[in-house]
Amino acid sequence: MRNIDKKLFDWVGPNAEESEEITRPSISYWKDAMHRLRKNKTAMVCLCIIAFIGLLSLIVPVVSPYSISEQHLTHTDAPMFFKDPTDGHMHLFGTDSLGRDIFTRLWSGGRVSLFIAFTAVIINCIIGIIYGGISGFFGEAVDNIMMRIIEVINGIPYLIIIILLMMVLEQGVATMVIAYATVGWTGMARLVRGQVMSLKQQDYVTAAKVMGAKPSRIIFKHLIPNTLSVVIVNITLSIPSVIFTEAFLSYIGLGVPVPLSSWGIMASDGSIVFQTYPSQMLIPGICISLTMLSFNLLGDGLRDALDPRLRR
């Protein structure tokens, strides 16, 4: 039988060398998540709005020619874009019933509200991660006792606890942070506990136990870092709740003391003259709503970006 030359044939099947080549550059989990977050236009717009509000809250009270307690009784309840005849400065958002510049008080109040929100959420995050990590890792009797404590705390509406603490303690920014941090960590603790209970069954945790790693090292080195994606999303969704709580407490007179300003205090003052000067209530109300909406939409975008199942 005559031999057939192989050169007469072409290989039409898969190429083994090409199939083993890496066509996509290697990328870490966090870089991939940030890349997908940048493609989410809604989340990026909300991030820009939050950054813009935060930047104005930091800069305006410093560069403004007016202070939050400076009163101009000669032109109270001035309209927007009112020019002060005495010094020539412009009141962009007008003045309130005491002649105080609303623009300065708005961003000074934004600084207070955002500071309370971020500080309280960070404290809640630290307490909740530690508490939930310990409860989820040890399980059994330890988990039962720790979860019963959380159920007792959750059985009482957190606003009632915060209001009672605000009535007992001295009014101030620190008191509001302490009051919210006292009960606000339970949601984070339950979330982290559920994540840790599912992760502690993984092989790398078993390998760490076999190698003699201490429980503290397993919790803080292996388990908690793998829950960060869920924790970050929960943080962005918790900040609007704190902002609303601060505004509510300030609205009913249990917020920051005079002469400090916050969005809740401004909304409370504006509600008194709402029928005559509606802008004095609408301006802080719009800031509260816009900030809460931006954080919620940003949290939704982060949840989609940090979920590896949505990776394409």
Amino acid 25: pLDDT: 65
User: In whole angstroms, how far apart are CA 24 and each of 20, 30, 159, 187, 261?
Assistant: 12, 16, 51, 39, 53
pLDDT at 48: 93
pTM over 0.85: no
- Per-residue model confidence (pLDDT) at position 238: 86
Q: Looking at residue 45, what is its pLDDT?
A: 92
- Domains belonging to the chain, first-starting first, are 29-59+90-310 (1.10.3720.10)
Q: What per-residue confidence (pLDDT) applies to 52?
A: 92
pLDDT, one tens digit for every residue, the chain (312 residues): 567 777 777 766 666 566 655 556 666 767 777 878 888 889 899 999 999 999 999 998 888 888 887 777 777 878 787 787 777 778 788 888 888 888 888 898 888 888 888 898 889 888 988 888 888 888 788 888 888 888 888 887 777 877 787 778 777 788 888 888 888 888 888 888 888 888 888 888 888 888 888 888 888 888 888 888 788 888 888 888 888 888 888 887 777 777 778 888 888 888 888 888 888 889 888 998 899 899 888 888 888 887 666 555
pLDDT of residue 14: 66
Are the beta carbons of 190 and 150 closer than 8 angstroms? yes
Nearest residue to 287 (alpha-carbon basis) of 67, 108, 41, 78: 108
Angle at 168 between CA 288 and CA 292, to 5 degrees: 10
Indicate the burial class of 149 (C-beta count within 10 angstroms; 0-12, 13-18, 19 or more): middle
pLDDT for residue 310: 57
231: number of Cβ within 10 Å: 18
